[in-house]
Chains A and B, each alone.
Chain A
Amino acid sequence: MALLKVSGSPHVQSKDTTQSIMWSVVIALIPALLVGVYFFGFRVLAVTAVSVAACILFEWLIQKFLLKGEQTISDGSAVITGMLLAFNLPSNIPFYIVIIGALVAIGIGKMTFGGLGKNPFNPALVGRVFLFLSFPTNVAMSEWPTAKTVDALTGPTPLSLIKNGQTPELMDTLIGATGGSFGEVSAIAIILGGLFMLLRKVITWHIPISFIASSWLFAGILYLAGITVDPTTHILAGGLMLGAIFMATDMATSPITKTGQIIFGVGCGLLTIIFRCFGPMPEGVSFAILIMNALTPLINKMCKPKRFGY
């Protein structure tokens, strides 16, 4: 008989692996992708494919030639970054911009710090914000769904309507028949993905709910003060749903304890509404999450779990 193995306990482990978690997130993103394809056409798939492929390629290249470590592309996290980056872009964006975004997301946002789990900021948001500041016209000017408007291919997004004090159709923002980045338009598809992740225990409710609820509350206060439109429109429009459910919940860049996660979510919500209502740009979700990412180590330090026996 072969030699027996000897190790410390425990001798059994759960079935969850980094891969299984990451691929669950990928599956959860598919409804939003399908809605994007339905409203904006097949170029959505092309943008997503380019983004994902570029992310995987850059991770592979950086790992191979710079970090010289074991390849990590099969863990699925580059696929998520690629999808989330694409979802934050309009479908008519030139491919070269997508590729630049992927390089920044993976290169600067993730691999600089040593890869998955070590990055302080959500890589997809790093890429998005870079593109947003570098190519403002291509990124911010979203097209309208071809199904809805025949002649005008581009038009104001719900958020730019809000900025001008107008209210977009609520139902449209709910199902996604509205202008915007193709992955963030449909609140229902994103929530569906979120429920799947909750079910698979990839995320917990703490961040999304505190993020969305606090946004609603702060927007509501400003609405009563006559500063902005009604709060429900706020939470359904723009990248808030996608941000709250898929970006803010990124494990590596959000707090560990449940209390910390609620503080994080409330912070995201508050900052989003402040940026939207008082900032120069219509959208504030990306910046809000990135700022809270930066505060995460501090929140972790403040919010220790309740120890047993103290």
Chain B
Amino acid sequence: MNTFRLGGVHPQENKLASENAIELFPLQQKAVVFVSQHLGAPSTPVVQKGDRVKTGQLLAKAEAFICANTHSPYTGVITKIDVATDFNGYKKPAFYIDVEEDEWCEDIDTSEDIVQDIKLSSQEIIERIKDRGIVGLGGAAFPTHVKYMVPEDKHVDYVIINAAECEPYLTSDNRLLLEHTEEVLIGVEIMKKALNINKAKIGIETNKPKAINALKTIINKYPGTEVVALKTKYPQGAEKQLIYALTKREVPSGKLPIEVGCVVNNVGTAFAIYQAVQKNRPLIDNILTFTGKAVENNRNLLVRVGTSIQSIIDYCGGLPENTGKVINGGPMMGKAMMDLSAPTTKTTSSILVMTEAEASRKKTTNCLRCGKCVSACPMGLEPIQISLLAKQERWEEAEKECAMDCIECGSCLFTCPAGQPLLDIIRVAKSKIGALRRARSKK
């Protein structure tokens, strides 16, 4: 069984919504769309207050290299361009839209027909991906087209598709693979064409047998693409771990996957690429899992960008009485939301509701030096050592202990029997070391 080499943990899977088909979330009266919804330079608005925009129309343009376009998820009038609070509590500029109807731009194919033939050339594909505002849907929201603009001195062997969905609770990738198998695979073909290569590997954990089966039944139509079942073990879907599991190649410290000849994208991104290239559809919605142990109906919803989290919660019957925490993303790497009135973005993958009991951490006691954090670290680090150094503000030494290689998967904190806040402290160390490095490079 393919898997990564070092560490890893096995949290309870809790894939409660895995059997529930994707439902269309009803369109809302008001939408708040952040100008920038990606990692990188901010986008520049191209519409103004009072403008009437159609669904799929460009709202903000990418002018830097690592930047992405933003499109309108609704038809309506821009009432203002002002700051809005995201669910982390940060204030960012956003378009406020009063929704009128749902009239799509004419050049977008909104039909359900599956388009097989890829007519665009490699260069045109990359242009289209950029134009349609596609970002990585694995969580980082990195502008996708950048990954396909391979530097001249680099060589790509594989497109790697991340379908591991190793986070507990999340089921949107699983549903996508089951309900849009063909489209995802065409998306992979497009990626291969964009890179002028013929090999792709789809890594998927064995806890999704139906999705594996769905892929395998039609995979013969797509020569060069391989479906690889991976051991169900967290963090199987972490980029470097996934590359290792599929190719046995080790991305060097501080480098990108391209260094070992791989371009990695999530299945959600493959689907978005299909829609962008074959249908000219911009990224204006995404599949979101509404889930939690105390939630009555766990469901998968197709939600337009800019929908308030609260309205989704209300639609799903409200929060249970004993709610302690609401998380965007999985329980291992997701972010706890602090403002539920915030709107969704291109990468809002879930609303995970945790009960008060689940939301409380275990009591912190003395470190036992049991070494479980060291055994669990998929990067071969010593979380306890970094944490000890950080507590004494010995940042340089923490840097020598490879603190910057930490991928923040949370396996150390998960596994620690003494309840030590390892990752919390390592995050502080990373930001301090980052500041030190910036100061050094200035000299």
The interface of chain A, by Cβ under 8 A from chain B, is 1-2, 4-14, 16-18, 20-21, 72, 75, 114-118, 251-253, 255-258, 304-310
Contacts and interface: CB of A to CB of B under 8 A. Distances in A.
| Majority DSSP secondary structure for residues of B touching A | loop
Contact of B240 (A2, A17, A308): A308
Given A9-B329, A10-B331, 6 more contacts: A5-B336, A18-B368, A255-B371, A256-B371, A257-B371, A308-B379
A14 B323 CA distance: 20
A251 B370 contact: yes
A14 B9 contact: yes
Given A4-B336, A4-B338, A306-B380, A11 B325 contact: yes
Contacts of A75: 365
B303 interface: no
Contact of A4 (B325, B331, B333, B384): B325
A5 B253 contact: no
B413 interface: yes
Contacts of B381: 305, 307
B369 to A, nearest CB: 5
11 contacts: A4-B324, A9-B335, A10-B11, A12-B12, A17-B363, A18-B417, A256-B384, A258-B375, A305-B374, A305-B377, A307-B405
A308 B368 contact: no
B34 to A, nearest CB: 20
A117 B382 contact: no
Contacts of A16: 372, 415, 417
Given A9-B334, A117-B367, A117-B368, A14 B378 contact: no
Nearest to B425: A8
Q: 5 closest Cβ contacts across the A-B interface?
A: A10-B410, A256-B371, A309-B253, A117-B366, A16-B417
Given A1-B323, A308-B6, A252 B369 contact: yes
Interface of B: 5-6, 9, 11-12, 168, 240, 244, 250-255, 319, 323-327, 329, 331-338, 340, 352, 354, 356, 358-363, 365-372, 374-375, 377-382, 384, 402, 405, 408, 410-411, 413-419, 423-424, 427
B319 A1 contact: yes
A12 B332 contact: yes
Given A10-B413, A115-B366, A308-B378, A18 B331 contact: no
Contacts of A17: 362-363, 365, 417-419
B323 A4 contact: yes
A13 B421 CA distance: 11
Contact of B368 (A5, A7, A21, A257): A21
A5 B5 CA distance: 35
A233 B380 CA distance: 40
B419 A4 contact: no
Nearest to B254: A309
Contacts of B384: 256
Contacts of A11: 325, 327, 331-332, 334, 336, 352, 354, 358-359
A72 B418 CA distance: 12
| Majority DSSP secondary structure for residues of A touching B | loop
Nearest to B168: A12
Contacts of B250: 308-309
A138 to B, nearest CB: 33
A148 to B, nearest CB: 40
Contacts of B418: 17-18, 117
Interface hub of A8, A9, A17, A305 (most chain B Cβ within 10 A): A9
B324 A14 contact: no
A90 to B, nearest CB: 31
B357 to A, nearest CB: 11
A309 B379 contact: yes
A17 B413 CA distance: 12
B332 A9 contact: yes
Interface hub of A11, A12, A252, A257 (most chain B Cβ within 10 A): A11
B9 A6 contact: no
A114 B365 CA distance: 12
B253 A116 contact: no
B367 to A, nearest CB: 5
A18 B365 contact: yes
A307 B402 contact: yes
Contacts of A258: 375
A115 B338 CA distance: 38
Contacts of B361: 7, 13
Nearest to A12: B331
Given A5-B336, A10-B423, A309 B240 contact: yes
A17 B418 CA distance: 6
Contacts of A114: 366
B253 A310 contact: yes
Contacts of B366: 18, 72, 114-118
A21 B331 contact: no
A61 to B, nearest CB: 19
A6 B410 contact: no
A84 to B, nearest CB: 16
Contacts of B340: 4
Nearest to A8: B424
Contacts of B382: 256, 304-305
Contacts of B413: 10, 13
Contacts of A252: 368-369
A251 B314 CA distance: 49
A21 B371 CA distance: 13
A118 B11 CA distance: 29
A12 B370 contact: no
A2 B323 CA distance: 8
B336 A307 contact: no
Contacts of B336: 4-9, 11
Given A6-B336, A17-B419, A308-B240, A12 B11 contact: yes
B327 to A, nearest CB: 6
A305 B380 contact: yes
A10 B414 contact: yes
Nearest to B322: A2
A16 B416 CA distance: 8
Contacts of B362: 13, 17
B409 to A, nearest CB: 8
Interface hub of A21, A252, A308 (most chain B Cβ within 10 A): A308
Contacts of B11: 10, 12, 14
Contact of A308 (B329, B363, B380, B416): B380
Nearest to A257: B374
Nearest to A203: B370
B380 A12 contact: no
A24 B369 CA distance: 17
A11 B418 CA distance: 16
Contacts of B408: 9
A256 B415 contact: no
B11 to A, nearest CB: 5
